Amino acid sequence: MHLYLHVPFCARRCTYCDFAIAVRRRVPSDPYVSAVLREWALWQTEPVWDLSPQIETIYFGGGTPSRLDADAIARLVNRLAFDRPLSSDAELTLEANPDDVTASAAATWKAAGINRVSLGIQSFDPEVLRWMHRSHSSSQVAPAVDALRTAGLQAISLDLIFGLPAEINRNWERDLEQALALEPEHLSLYGLTIEPDTPLGRRAARGELAAIGDDCYAAEFLAAHQALMDAGYVHYEVSNAARPGHQARHNSAYWRRRPFIGLGPSAHSGFGSERRWNLRDWEAYHRAVLAGCTPMADRELLDPDAVALEELYLGLRTDQGLDARRVPEGTRQEWERSGWAVSDSKRLRLTPEGWLRLDALVAAIGRP
């Protein structure tokens, strides 16, 4: 079993963000812990535990989980591990912003059992960070990494965003160089998506900026792939690369369709063909659990065709690919001739050029 805890609180909303967040000057750590543990108690009688009784990974995502009181993380981990067996080599990840990382916080996270930290860097360019409305400065990144390593947190991931509008004049290659110079164990690289209900989306609707062109987007993605390969990283999933042995186990569980439980506002859960998701708004979620009600907003059951299509999409996202027999032979040969895929007698894997066309390639196959 894999657990995801959504911590919605942020100091501010970034210009590109359409996540379920709650901007708070003061973070309600105690009410959050109480609410999540009330929801967790409701899960104890669910038959999903028959599928997998042991917790393999815990992921604190957001939002900005590092804004919680550091001891709140320990209280949550302790309760989760008390109620259900925690694997002796479990991966416990905390998303953090560089400005939240102090020697004291890092030590407390480490003592709580956190053994992996994902730092939201996004860029090292001060002008780009201001444009993104990020809360940290570029000068805070290296000290944050040093503080984490000093505390004994040796599995560090850095997040970067590429594909910014051309008028920003962002130097993508320089950002990659600075990230790699910190020698992180893992890197996550996300292409910017301009969502309608965001500050960027509203600016785009007014004609004040335009999304980057497809050719430039592809060039940045392929440049990142090459830089990662040259530095000895394994580009093991569309948006993720790691030093050998440091692949993110939690995220990999999603791509392998392992059972997972989501706790907190907007969190999703999935097991087999069932999907559930919680109320999106923090206040609505909080009221529901205080009243002793489930915070679930809705649920769905995937039909066999939808499950098969999901397996295709998730399998093609990774460097492991999928059973070559899942793709019609003619389609497979066309992909290989175009340089979008490679295959052997058993597995079909997309190339980086194929990953750039992932959605279109899966759509072309259609429902099995």
pLDDT at position 367, please? 47
pLDDT digits (tens, 9 = 90+) for 62-98: 999 999 998 999 999 999 999 999 999 999 999 999 9
Q: For residue 60, what are its two tokens?
A: 């604190």
Q: For residue 89, what are its two tokens?
A: 């080599």
pLDDT digits (tens, 9 = 90+) for 175-194: 999 999 999 999 999 999 99
Q: Residue length, the chain?
A: 368
pLDDT digits (tens, 9 = 90+) for 201-223: 999 999 999 999 999 999 999 99
How does DSSP classify residue 85? P
What one-letter code names the amino acid at 115? Answer: N
- The reported pTM is 0.95
Closest CA relative to residue 167, chosen from 137, 210, 113: 210
d(CA 195, CA 94): 25
DSSP symbols for 21-76? -EE-SS--HHHHHHHHHHHHHHHTT-GGGGT--SEEEEEEEES-GGGS-HHHHHHH
What one-letter code names the amino acid at 366? Answer: G
183: left (phi over 0), alpha (psi -120 to 50) or beta: left
What one-letter code names the amino acid at 100? Answer: D
d(CA 315, CA 323): 9
Tell me the domains of the chain and their CATH numbers.
2-255 (3.20.20.70), 304-365 (no CATH)
Looking at the chain, the whole-number percentage of residues with pLDDT higher than 90 is 92
Closest CA relative to residue 170, chosen from 132, 119, 113: 132
* Angle at alpha carbon of residue 238, lines to 237 and 240, rounded to 5°: 60
Contacts of 37 (CB under 8 A, 6+ apart): 76, 79
Which H or E run contains 188?
Answer: strand 186-191
Phi–psi pair at 108, nearest 5 degrees: -70, -40
DSSP symbols for 286-341? HHHHHTT---EEEEEE--HHHHHHHHHHHHHHBTT-EEGGGS-HHHHHHHHHTTSE
pLDDT digits (tens, 9 = 90+) for 304-331: 999 999 999 999 999 999 999 999 999 9
pLDDT digits (tens, 9 = 90+) for 214-260: 999 999 999 999 999 999 999 999 999 999 999 999 999 999 999 99
